[in-house]
Amino acid sequence: MARSKKPLIYIIASTFYRDISLRQIKNAHGALLGELKIPENRIKVLETEGSLELPYLVNAVCKKHKPDGIVALGCIIKGKTNHFELISTSVANNLIQISLRYNIPITSGVLTVTDKKQIRSRTSGGSKDRAIEAARSLVKLIRISGSL
């Protein structure tokens, strides 16, 4: 699909752990700007309260705006119940289904960690930063699909 305009990218983040999500948004945004060389106004950021709401918002954006790609961000920390597994699996599976339904690349930087110590390396801007990995992966998928 050849495009005459610059791509439209969404970063959609769960802000349940606000300090974490703000780092994720900043890191993904920076990686997208660096990789795509597009105007900042072509990257839209939307927030939702929890990770379970991510698929709904991603689906709504795909349906209404038909973006060139989406990076989903958030953090799910394991507690004492099986809620962690249910949310993590549901979010991942639904994001994949939405991506396939709309033929829009969607990558996930949603952290699934067993304790807060694991968060630092995955949000530090370094080589293991999941938001940066998700943003770079999205750029590759967009390029492969021919949208750039």
Span 34-86, pLDDT tens digits: 988 888 999 999 999 999 999 999 999 999 999 999 999 999 999 888 889 99
pLDDT band at 145 (very low <50, low <70, confident <90, very high): confident
How far is residue 109's CA from residue 132's CA, in Å, rounded to a whole number? 8
- β-bridge partners, 14: 48
Q: Which residues of 23-39 are buried (b: 16+ CB within 10 A; e: fewer)?
A: bbbebbbebbbebbebe
Residues with a catalytic annotation lie at 83
Are the CB atoms for 109 and 97 separated by under 8 Å? no
| 72 residue type, one letter | A
Q: Tell me the average pLDDT of the chain.
A: 93
Q: Output the pLDDT for position 3.
A: 46
- The structure's pTM equals 0.93
Instruction: Classify 6 in phi/psi space as left (phi over 0), alpha (psi -120 to 50) or beta.
Output: beta
CA distance 120 to 128: 10
